[in-house]
């Protein structure tokens, strides 16, 4: 580990456990910090809290008492999902306590450089593509963040020869102070997480933080086709590398004559790429940009692109049953992701959608829903999605209680040659702990059909 002095002998409050809080507490204790953990879940139900107490870390469970700040703290490291409107966070900021997220800890202790990938959609696919390309190019990458292992857990064992490829959310980026990736990637910006950020401007500002500490020795990889991204990238002092699916560029990564180029160098014909969907071309261009900046040979890039078919829960092919193909896109937690998933297919689609109600309507989805044969809805947003489906002219719209029931209903509505697609356009938290849990239930229900 590198710069542990920032945290050694400091009093640090971990607010909220989950995977990142548990990992941060252990790392901080190992480097000599005094750690206190506060988590909302009662102790008797809290396995992570019990684990920490066994190794001598003080844990306060069952709520977030404001009195906890009566003790002196040098830092608070909060779970990314806890909003800044939380009373403890509000009071801590008033008292001048620095509030961070775990990615900042990872950055300080890591001997390896970081690649940071963010955006409203496509983060997981792009992060995985970059990791696989670097691995094929013998660059010793490690994968961390929202995908894979918690970043500080990876960083504590990283060596200088490694590269940490990190998927980053806007929630994580709000809690950085000095974090500065060698290569920062911003894929796109769409109206997302407005229940957390309040306004689109706040959301864009959070995404833009990935660039704010970069220097002229770093790289900023950005989507030239998204004007919000272009504006956000302006704050970066790094060398800029654009990618575009619509424009032919003199420098950067682009498509010409159905072929991907980096600068003037031909990389691969689109027809050779295994990953389905037009929306994935942006993710591929971003990944190629990063790979080329690390001097990954073209043959290694081509090897990945001709074999990689996607990540779990992101337009994941599951099974074909009686001529119906099932796809799991549970990670589609917003409208843009579902629009992209629908556009990836030419066959008739039975769409399974619904979930947490964040207060938005689904008018932006209506145009894509015109290509949908039938709609099966569930969760808090079922009625809103039904309204959008009717506006799109869908005649078959059925309500069910949950994802498992939706699979059977969709199969009954389908014909041979149809696509049955779970792409909820909503977060999962009304019925499930995570989108992964929702996707796994879908997969199990599909297999039961056999």
Output the known binding site for ATP.
119-125
Comparing C-alpha atoms, which of 83, 88, 40 is closest to residue 63?
A: 40
Query: Which residues have a Cβ under 8 Å from the Cβ of 28 and sit 6 or more positions away?
Result: 7, 12, 14, 35, 77, 105
Q: What is the DSSP string of 371-402?
A: TEEEEEE-STTHHHHHHHHHHTT-SEEEE-SS
Output the known binding site.
119-125
Q: How far is CA 58 from the centre of its chain?
A: 31
Place of tokens 């290509």: 371
In Å, what is the CA distance from 344 to each residue of 42, 336, 337?
A: 44, 13, 11
Place of tokens 């064992």: 157
In Å, what is the CA distance from 321 to each residue of 94, 311, 351, 450?
A: 59, 21, 16, 7
**Separation between Cα atoms, residue 30 and residue 43, nearest integer Å:** 23
Q: How far is CA 16 from the centre of its chain?
A: 19
């Amino acid at each position: 580990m590198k710069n542990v002095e920032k945290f050694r002998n400091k009093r640090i409050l971990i607010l909220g456990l989950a995977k990142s809080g548990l990992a941060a507490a252990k790392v901080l204790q190992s480097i000599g910090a005094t750690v206190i953990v506060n988590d909302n879940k009662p102790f008797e139900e809290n396995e992570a809290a019990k684990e920490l107490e066994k190794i001598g870390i003080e844990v306060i469970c069952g709520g977030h008492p404001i009195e906890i700040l009566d003790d002196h703290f040098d830092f608070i490291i909060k779970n990314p999902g806890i909003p800044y409107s939380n009373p403890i966070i509000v009071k801590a900021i008033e008292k001048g306590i620095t509030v961070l997220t775990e990615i900042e800890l990872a950055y300080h202790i890591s001997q390896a450089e970081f690649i940071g990938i963010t955006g409203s959609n496509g983060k997981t696919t792009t992060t995985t593509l970059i990791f696989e390309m670097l691995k094929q190019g013998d660059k010793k990458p490690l994968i961390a963040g929202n995908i894979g292992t918690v970043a500080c857990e990876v960083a504590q064992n990283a060596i200088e020869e490694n590269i940490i490829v990190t998927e980053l959310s806007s929630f994580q980026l709000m809690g950085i102070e000095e974090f500065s990736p060698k290569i920062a990637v911003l894929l796109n910006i769409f109206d997302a997480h407005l229940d957390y950020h309040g306004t689109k401007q706040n959301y864009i500002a959070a995404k833009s933080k990935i660039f704010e500490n970069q220097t002229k020795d770093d790289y900023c990889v950005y989507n030239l086709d998204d004007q919000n991204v272009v504006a956000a990238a302006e704050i970066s002092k790094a060398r800029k590398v654009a990618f575009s699916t619509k424009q032919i560029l003199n420098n950067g990564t682009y498509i010409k004559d159905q072929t991907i180029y980096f600068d003037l160098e031909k990389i691969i014909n689109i027809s050779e790429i295994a990953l389905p969907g037009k929306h994935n071309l942006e993710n591929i261009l971003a990944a190629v940009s990063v790979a080329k900046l690390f001097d990954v040979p073209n043959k290694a890039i081509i090897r990945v692109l001709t074999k990689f078919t996607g990540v779990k829960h992101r337009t994941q092919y599951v099974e074909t049953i009686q001529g119906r193909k099932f796809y799991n896109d549970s990670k589609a937690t917003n409208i843009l992701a579902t629009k992209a998933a629908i556009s990836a297919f030419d066959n008739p689609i039975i769409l399974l959608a619904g979930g947490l109600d964040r207060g938005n309507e689904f008018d932006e989805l209506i145009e894509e829903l015109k290509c949908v044969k039938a709609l099966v809805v569930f969760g808090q947003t079922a009625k809103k999605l039904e309204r959008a489906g009717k506006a799109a002219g869908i005649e078959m719209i059925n309500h069910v209680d949950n994802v498992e029931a939706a699979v059977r209903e969709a199969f009954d509505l389908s014909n041979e040659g149809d696509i049955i697609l779970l792409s909820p356009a909503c977060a999962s938290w009304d019925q499930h702990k995570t989108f992964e849990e929702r996707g796994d239930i879908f997969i199990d229900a599909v297999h039961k059909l056999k």
